[in-house]
Amino acid sequence: MIQLHSEHDIQEHCDSSPTPLVLVPTMGALHEGHFSLIRKAKELAGEHGKVVVSIFVNPIQFDRAQDLDSYPQPIAQDLQHCERLGVDYVYTPKSEDFYFEDRSIEVSENSLSSLLCGATRPGHFNGVCMVITKLFNILQPTAAIFGQKDYQQLAIIRRLVRDLSFRTEIIAHPTVREVSGLAMSSRNVGLSSEELSLAPAIREGLLKARELYASGEKSTDRILSKFRLHLDRRAPLSKIDYLECVCADTLQALTEVDRPAVIATAVFFGPVRLIDNIVL
């Protein structure tokens, strides 16, 4: 495994690397969810291709300076995981080298990013679009893998690739879950043991809502009520931040499920905000 900091060096390696070159973009603090993305990348790269993992805590996607300052960066541990998983290149740029101080070109997404999580995180998805644009331009990967847990991020990156004609194929990886059904997330460590036992209610509620849809119900009000009812019963102290049934492509809220749709939610357990979704 080779670790590279500079744009020039990683470019040289990627340019001369056999294809497919499969990218797993991360912000580090790697956990089982990332491991599973890396294993998928290895599978896609096959015997001859290469896997590149980027580890970069992208400052411009943080809307609160405090979140950026407290973001965990266990780089030595992350590198060990990458080595163990058979990653070929790890790209670890420094922020001051990655972004020019006087940069004057931005990438902005003007539709999907104001909805769902974007409603309370101004600028976040533009920051994600910018870093992905740069990574795709620097590395020119054949494919890049993103977890389906961040459904909105995935939908926006698909738009980015479509609208800016990137040639990288976007691969969606199913959400990796604990045995309890709780979606794996670096935020789960912030849950108390009681909250940890109640948080799987999110997944259970989503499954119940999907069951109602599968039985023929089309009204999103009634489908979402099923979720709310379950959460109220199982985890009465949790607080729903948002709960919506949206078009799988445009993320616009639906009143009837008359096209491919997704139920997306964010729920607070104490101070910890957990997101999850289910495709209908």
Which residues form the interface with ligand PAF (CB under 6 A)? 25-27, 58, 61, 128, 131, 150, 153
Q: Where are the alpha helices (DSSP H) in 46-190?
A: 65-69, 75-85, 95-98, 124-139, 151-163
CB of 48 to ligand PAF, least distance (A): 26
- Any catalytic annotation for residue 34? yes
What burial letters (b/e) apply to 65-100, b meaning 16+ CB within 10 Å?
eeeeeeeeeeeeebbebbeebebbbbbbbeeeebbe
CB of 135 to ligand PAF, least distance (A): 8
Q: Which of the residues 8, 34, 124, 173 is marked catalytic?
A: 34
- Specify the amino acid at residue 215: S
DSSP-derived secondary structure letter, 54: E
Nearer to ligand PAF, 78 or 150 (CB): 150
Nearer to ligand PAF, 33 or 205 (CB): 33
CB of 197 to ligand PAF, least distance (A): 27
Query: 53 — phi, psi (to 5°)?
Result: -110, 125
CB of 277 to ligand PAF, least distance (A): 14
Nearer to ligand PAF, 171 or 253 (CB): 171
Nearer to ligand PAF, 61 or 175 (CB): 61
Contact 209, 240 (CB under 8 A): no
How many helices (H) and strands (E) the chain has is answered by 10, 9
* Cα 277 to Cα 10: distance, rounded to the nearest angstrom: 35
* Catalytic residue ranges: 34
